[in-house]
Structure 1
Protein backbone atom coordinates (compact mmCIF):
# COMPACT_ATOMS: atom_id res chain seq x y z
CA UNK A 1 0.00 0.00 0.00
CA UNK A 2 1.12 3.53 -0.68
CA UNK A 3 2.57 5.42 2.25
CA UNK A 4 0.82 8.56 3.42
CA UNK A 5 3.13 11.50 4.03
CA UNK A 6 2.13 12.87 7.42
CA UNK A 7 4.21 16.06 7.19
CA UNK A 8 1.91 19.08 7.55
CA UNK A 9 -1.06 16.74 7.95
CA UNK A 10 -3.21 19.51 9.52
CA UNK A 11 -2.83 21.69 6.41
CA UNK A 12 -3.51 18.75 4.08
CA UNK A 13 -6.56 17.76 6.09
CA UNK A 14 -7.95 21.29 5.88
CA UNK A 15 -7.34 21.32 2.11
CA UNK A 16 -9.03 17.92 1.65
CA UNK A 17 -12.22 18.51 3.64
CA UNK A 18 -14.35 18.73 0.48
CA UNK A 19 -12.89 15.45 -0.85
CA UNK A 20 -13.45 13.77 2.52
CA UNK A 21 -17.06 15.00 2.63
CA UNK A 22 -17.73 13.72 -0.90
CA UNK A 23 -16.16 10.36 -0.09
CA UNK A 24 -18.19 9.96 3.10
CA UNK A 25 -21.41 10.80 1.23
CA UNK A 26 -20.78 8.41 -1.67
CA UNK A 27 -18.72 5.63 -0.12
CA UNK A 28 -19.61 2.02 -0.69
CA UNK A 29 -20.38 1.32 2.96
CA UNK A 30 -19.77 -2.44 2.80
CA UNK A 31 -16.36 -2.11 1.13
CA UNK A 32 -15.31 0.77 3.36
CA UNK A 33 -16.29 -1.06 6.57
CA UNK A 34 -14.21 -4.05 5.46
CA UNK A 35 -11.16 -1.80 4.97
CA UNK A 36 -11.43 0.11 8.26
CA UNK A 37 -9.88 -2.41 10.68
CA UNK A 38 -6.72 -2.73 8.57
CA UNK A 39 -6.45 1.03 7.97
CA UNK A 40 -7.03 1.72 11.66
CA UNK A 41 -4.18 -0.67 12.57
CA UNK A 42 -1.92 0.93 9.96
CA UNK A 43 -2.66 4.41 11.27
CA UNK A 44 -1.73 3.48 14.82
CA UNK A 45 1.46 1.76 13.69
CA UNK A 46 2.58 5.22 12.53
CA UNK A 47 0.88 7.56 14.98
CA UNK A 48 1.60 7.70 18.70
CA UNK A 49 -1.29 9.29 20.57
CA UNK A 50 1.05 10.21 23.42
CA UNK A 51 2.91 12.52 21.01
CA UNK A 52 -0.33 14.30 20.12
CA UNK A 53 -3.22 14.21 22.62
CA UNK A 54 -5.06 16.87 20.59
CA UNK A 55 -8.34 15.19 21.51
CA UNK A 56 -7.62 15.55 25.24
CA UNK A 57 -6.22 19.04 24.89
CA UNK A 58 -9.00 20.60 22.82
CA UNK A 59 -12.19 18.55 23.00
CA UNK A 60 -14.29 16.59 25.43
CA UNK A 61 -15.92 13.21 25.19
CA UNK A 62 -19.48 12.73 26.34
CA UNK A 63 -19.63 11.36 29.86
CA UNK A 64 -22.60 9.00 29.85
CA UNK A 65 -24.25 7.74 33.03
CA UNK A 66 -22.20 4.49 33.18
CA UNK A 67 -19.01 6.53 32.69
CA UNK A 68 -19.94 8.92 35.49
CA UNK A 69 -20.77 6.05 37.84
CA UNK A 70 -17.55 4.17 37.06
CA UNK A 71 -15.20 7.18 37.19
CA UNK A 72 -16.70 8.74 40.31
CA UNK A 73 -16.42 5.36 42.09
CA UNK A 74 -12.79 5.07 40.94
CA UNK A 75 -12.07 8.59 42.23
CA UNK A 76 -13.98 7.84 45.46
CA UNK A 77 -16.31 10.78 44.85
CA UNK A 78 -20.08 10.99 45.01
CA UNK A 79 -21.47 11.23 41.49
CA UNK A 80 -22.87 14.68 42.21
CA UNK A 81 -19.46 15.90 43.44
CA UNK A 82 -17.75 14.43 40.37
CA UNK A 83 -20.25 16.18 38.09
CA UNK A 84 -20.00 19.51 39.96
CA UNK A 85 -16.20 19.37 39.98
CA UNK A 86 -15.43 18.28 36.44
CA UNK A 87 -18.46 18.41 34.15
CA UNK A 88 -20.98 20.71 32.53
CA UNK A 89 -23.95 20.15 30.24
CA UNK A 90 -23.29 21.10 26.62
CA UNK A 91 -25.78 22.41 24.05
CA UNK A 92 -26.84 18.84 23.22
CA UNK A 93 -27.58 18.03 26.87
CA UNK A 94 -24.51 15.83 27.23
CA UNK A 95 -22.06 15.97 30.10
CA UNK A 96 -18.62 17.12 28.95
CA UNK A 97 -15.55 18.42 30.80
CA UNK A 98 -15.80 22.01 32.02
CA UNK A 99 -12.41 23.04 30.71
CA UNK A 100 -9.76 22.11 28.19
CA UNK A 101 -7.41 20.41 28.39
CA UNK A 102 -9.14 17.47 30.04
CA UNK A 103 -8.51 17.54 33.81
CA UNK A 104 -7.42 13.89 33.61
CA UNK A 105 -4.67 14.56 31.07
CA UNK A 106 -1.40 14.14 32.92
CA UNK A 107 2.34 14.30 32.33
CA UNK A 108 3.55 12.87 29.05
CA UNK A 109 -0.01 13.05 27.70
CA UNK A 110 -1.02 10.05 29.81
CA UNK A 111 -4.60 9.77 31.05
CA UNK A 112 -4.83 9.55 34.83
CA UNK A 113 -8.08 7.53 34.57
CA UNK A 114 -7.13 5.54 31.46
CA UNK A 115 -8.58 2.21 32.64
CA UNK A 116 -11.81 3.97 33.68
CA UNK A 117 -11.97 6.53 30.84
CA UNK A 118 -15.31 7.36 29.17
CA UNK A 119 -16.46 5.01 26.42
CA UNK A 120 -16.12 7.88 23.91
CA UNK A 121 -12.40 8.07 24.75
CA UNK A 122 -12.03 4.32 24.47
CA UNK A 123 -13.65 4.30 21.01
CA UNK A 124 -12.05 7.48 19.67
CA UNK A 125 -11.24 8.22 16.85
CA UNK A 126 -13.87 5.78 15.49
CA UNK A 127 -11.62 4.83 12.56
CA UNK A 128 -12.42 1.15 12.98
CA UNK A 129 -16.20 1.40 13.21
CA UNK A 130 -19.24 2.55 11.28
CA UNK A 131 -19.36 5.91 13.09
CA UNK A 132 -16.79 7.04 10.51
CA UNK A 133 -19.51 6.77 7.83
CA UNK A 134 -22.69 7.23 9.86
CA UNK A 135 -21.63 10.54 11.42
CA UNK A 136 -19.74 12.38 8.67
CA UNK A 137 -19.83 15.73 10.48
CA UNK A 138 -18.00 14.17 13.45
CA UNK A 139 -15.53 12.43 11.12
CA UNK A 140 -14.76 15.69 9.32
CA UNK A 141 -14.29 17.57 12.59
CA UNK A 142 -12.08 14.77 13.94
CA UNK A 143 -9.96 14.82 10.78
CA UNK A 144 -9.04 18.43 11.52
CA UNK A 145 -7.32 17.59 14.83
CA UNK A 146 -6.62 13.84 14.82
CA UNK A 147 -3.82 12.59 12.57
CA UNK A 148 -5.24 9.04 12.65
CA UNK A 149 -8.54 10.16 11.10
CA UNK A 150 -6.64 12.14 8.47
CA UNK A 151 -4.51 9.06 7.73
CA UNK A 152 -7.50 6.73 7.31
CA UNK A 153 -9.40 9.19 5.10
CA UNK A 154 -6.33 9.75 2.92
CA UNK A 155 -5.89 5.99 2.54
CA UNK A 156 -9.55 5.62 1.58
CA UNK A 157 -9.17 8.38 -1.05
CA UNK A 158 -6.06 6.66 -2.45
CA UNK A 159 -7.85 3.31 -2.64
CA UNK A 160 -10.84 4.95 -4.36
CA UNK A 161 -8.54 6.69 -6.87
CA UNK A 162 -6.73 3.42 -7.66
CA UNK A 163 -9.96 1.49 -8.10
CA UNK A 164 -11.53 4.08 -10.40
CA UNK A 165 -8.66 4.06 -12.90
Structure 2
Protein backbone atom coordinates (compact mmCIF):
# COMPACT_ATOMS: atom_id res chain seq x y z
CA UNK A 1 0.00 0.00 0.00
CA UNK A 2 1.35 3.41 -0.99
CA UNK A 3 1.34 6.19 1.56
CA UNK A 4 1.63 9.88 0.79
CA UNK A 5 4.58 11.99 1.87
CA UNK A 6 3.58 15.51 2.85
CA UNK A 7 6.09 17.52 0.81
CA UNK A 8 4.94 20.87 2.17
CA UNK A 9 5.36 19.66 5.75
CA UNK A 10 8.93 18.57 5.06
CA UNK A 11 9.68 21.80 3.20
CA UNK A 12 8.42 23.80 6.18
CA UNK A 13 10.56 21.75 8.56
CA UNK A 14 13.60 22.18 6.31
CA UNK A 15 13.07 25.94 6.13
CA UNK A 16 12.68 26.17 9.91
CA UNK A 17 15.87 24.22 10.53
CA UNK A 18 17.93 25.55 7.63
CA UNK A 19 20.22 27.72 9.76
CA UNK A 20 20.69 24.99 12.36
CA UNK A 21 21.42 22.36 9.72
CA UNK A 22 23.77 24.65 7.82
CA UNK A 23 25.73 25.31 11.00
CA UNK A 24 25.82 21.60 11.89
CA UNK A 25 26.95 20.53 8.41
CA UNK A 26 29.59 23.26 8.49
CA UNK A 27 31.20 21.63 11.53
CA UNK A 28 31.55 18.22 9.90
CA UNK A 29 34.87 18.76 8.15
CA UNK A 30 36.72 19.81 11.30
CA UNK A 31 34.82 17.96 14.03
CA UNK A 32 33.65 14.81 12.30
CA UNK A 33 34.63 11.37 13.47
CA UNK A 34 37.16 9.43 11.41
CA UNK A 35 34.42 6.99 10.38
CA UNK A 36 32.05 9.68 9.07
CA UNK A 37 31.71 8.00 5.66
CA UNK A 38 30.61 4.76 7.36
CA UNK A 39 28.13 6.62 9.56
CA UNK A 40 26.65 8.57 6.65
CA UNK A 41 26.26 5.35 4.63
CA UNK A 42 24.46 3.68 7.56
CA UNK A 43 22.12 6.64 8.01
CA UNK A 44 21.49 6.88 4.27
CA UNK A 45 20.50 3.19 4.26
CA UNK A 46 18.26 3.63 7.33
CA UNK A 47 16.47 6.59 5.77
CA UNK A 48 15.83 4.79 2.51
CA UNK A 49 14.47 1.77 4.35
CA UNK A 50 11.91 4.14 5.91
CA UNK A 51 11.17 6.37 2.92
CA UNK A 52 10.03 5.04 -0.42
CA UNK A 53 10.92 7.57 -3.11
CA UNK A 54 8.12 6.30 -5.33
CA UNK A 55 5.59 7.67 -2.84
CA UNK A 56 7.07 11.12 -3.31
CA UNK A 57 8.82 11.70 -6.66
CA UNK A 58 9.10 15.38 -5.81
CA UNK A 59 12.59 15.52 -7.32
CA UNK A 60 11.13 14.28 -10.62
CA UNK A 61 8.35 16.85 -10.43
CA UNK A 62 10.45 19.88 -9.52
CA UNK A 63 14.20 19.36 -10.01
CA UNK A 64 15.57 18.59 -13.42
CA UNK A 65 18.81 16.68 -13.81
CA UNK A 66 21.88 18.01 -15.55
CA UNK A 67 22.37 15.80 -18.63
CA UNK A 68 25.86 14.71 -19.56
CA UNK A 69 26.63 13.51 -23.09
CA UNK A 70 26.79 9.88 -21.93
CA UNK A 71 23.29 10.25 -20.43
CA UNK A 72 21.91 11.72 -23.63
CA UNK A 73 23.44 9.01 -25.82
CA UNK A 74 22.29 6.19 -23.52
CA UNK A 75 18.71 7.45 -23.22
CA UNK A 76 18.38 8.28 -26.91
CA UNK A 77 19.56 4.77 -27.79
CA UNK A 78 17.09 3.26 -25.31
CA UNK A 79 14.27 5.31 -26.86
CA UNK A 80 15.52 4.44 -30.36
CA UNK A 81 15.97 8.10 -31.20
CA UNK A 82 18.77 10.06 -32.79
CA UNK A 83 20.69 12.08 -30.21
CA UNK A 84 19.80 15.30 -32.03
CA UNK A 85 16.09 14.41 -32.03
CA UNK A 86 16.20 13.57 -28.31
CA UNK A 87 17.86 16.89 -27.53
CA UNK A 88 15.39 18.84 -29.68
CA UNK A 89 12.37 17.13 -28.16
CA UNK A 90 13.36 17.11 -24.47
CA UNK A 91 16.31 19.38 -23.68
CA UNK A 92 17.39 22.99 -23.56
CA UNK A 93 20.58 24.72 -22.47
CA UNK A 94 20.16 26.66 -19.23
CA UNK A 95 21.83 29.86 -18.04
CA UNK A 96 24.85 27.87 -16.78
CA UNK A 97 25.33 26.14 -20.12
CA UNK A 98 23.99 22.80 -18.82
CA UNK A 99 21.59 20.61 -20.76
CA UNK A 100 18.35 20.25 -18.81
CA UNK A 101 14.72 19.38 -19.47
CA UNK A 102 12.73 21.95 -21.41
CA UNK A 103 10.11 21.85 -18.68
CA UNK A 104 9.18 20.00 -15.53
CA UNK A 105 7.89 17.62 -14.34
CA UNK A 106 10.18 15.07 -15.95
CA UNK A 107 8.62 13.86 -19.20
CA UNK A 108 9.59 10.30 -18.21
CA UNK A 109 7.69 10.35 -14.92
CA UNK A 110 4.73 8.02 -15.24
CA UNK A 111 1.28 8.71 -13.81
CA UNK A 112 2.16 6.18 -11.09
CA UNK A 113 5.17 8.35 -10.09
CA UNK A 114 7.58 5.74 -11.44
CA UNK A 115 10.36 6.47 -13.90
CA UNK A 116 9.67 5.04 -17.34
CA UNK A 117 13.39 5.06 -18.23
CA UNK A 118 14.65 3.94 -14.82
CA UNK A 119 17.22 1.48 -16.20
CA UNK A 120 18.92 4.23 -18.22
CA UNK A 121 18.10 7.33 -16.15
CA UNK A 122 20.67 10.16 -16.00
CA UNK A 123 23.57 9.87 -13.57
CA UNK A 124 22.25 12.91 -11.71
CA UNK A 125 19.02 11.01 -11.03
CA UNK A 126 20.89 7.87 -9.93
CA UNK A 127 23.03 9.87 -7.50
CA UNK A 128 20.26 12.05 -6.04
CA UNK A 129 20.03 13.09 -3.21
CA UNK A 130 23.76 12.44 -2.73
CA UNK A 131 23.41 11.44 0.94
CA UNK A 132 25.51 8.32 0.40
CA UNK A 133 28.44 10.28 -0.92
CA UNK A 134 31.83 10.07 0.75
CA UNK A 135 33.06 13.27 2.41
CA UNK A 136 29.49 14.57 2.66
CA UNK A 137 30.81 17.88 4.03
CA UNK A 138 32.10 18.72 0.54
CA UNK A 139 28.52 19.21 -0.68
CA UNK A 140 26.93 21.01 2.29
CA UNK A 141 25.36 23.62 0.02
CA UNK A 142 23.72 20.91 -2.06
CA UNK A 143 22.48 19.01 0.99
CA UNK A 144 20.86 22.16 2.41
CA UNK A 145 19.23 22.89 -0.97
CA UNK A 146 18.03 19.30 -1.41
CA UNK A 147 16.34 19.33 2.01
CA UNK A 148 13.78 21.74 0.58
CA UNK A 149 12.73 19.22 -2.07
CA UNK A 150 13.58 15.80 -0.66
CA UNK A 151 12.12 14.50 2.62
CA UNK A 152 14.82 11.81 2.72
CA UNK A 153 17.54 14.47 2.73
CA UNK A 154 15.87 16.27 5.63
CA UNK A 155 15.60 12.98 7.56
CA UNK A 156 19.22 12.19 6.75
CA UNK A 157 20.49 15.48 8.23
CA UNK A 158 18.26 15.13 11.29
CA UNK A 159 19.49 11.60 11.99
CA UNK A 160 23.11 12.47 11.32
CA UNK A 161 22.86 15.39 13.70
CA UNK A 162 21.35 13.19 16.44
CA UNK A 163 23.95 10.46 15.91
CA UNK A 164 26.90 12.84 16.15
CA UNK A 165 25.72 14.80 19.16
What's the TM-score once normalised by structure 1's chain length?
0.88
- Find the residue that maps to 2:112 and give its secondary structure: helix
- Distance in 2 (CA, whole Å) between partners of 1:119 and 1:80 is 20
- Find the residue that maps to 1:108 and give its secondary structure: coil
Question: CA separation of 1:120/1:76 partners in 2, compared to 1, >3 Å: closer, same or farther?
Answer: same
Residue 123 (structure 1) aligned with residue 127 (structure 2): yes
- Distance in 2 (CA, whole Å) between partners of 1:128 and 1:150 is 14
Cα distance, 1:120 vs structure 2 = 0.7
Alignment match of 1:44 (pick from 40, 44, 48)? 48
Alignment match of 2:149 (pick from 145, 154, 158)? 145
Cα distance, 1:140 vs structure 2 = 0.8
Q: Deviations over 1:20-51 (max 9, x none)?
A: 11122110274432211111111111111111
Aligned residues: 156
Question: CA separation of 1:77/1:24 partners in 2, compared to 1, >3 Å: closer, same or farther?
Answer: same
Q: Find the counterpart in structure 2 of residue 22 from structure 1.
A: 23
Given that 2:37 and 2:136 are in contact with CA atoms closer than 8 Å, whether structure 1 keeps it comes out as no
Q: Find the counterpart in structure 2 of residue 158 from structure 1.
A: 162
Residue 9 (structure 1) aligned with residue 10 (structure 2): yes
What's the TM-score once normalised by structure 2's chain length?
0.88
- Distance in 2 (CA, whole Å) between partners of 1:131 and 1:31 is 10
Q: Indicate the larger mover: 68-77 or 129-138.
A: 129-138
Give structure 2 stretches of 5+ with no counterpart: none
Q: Find the counterpart in structure 1 of residue 102 from structure 2.
A: 98
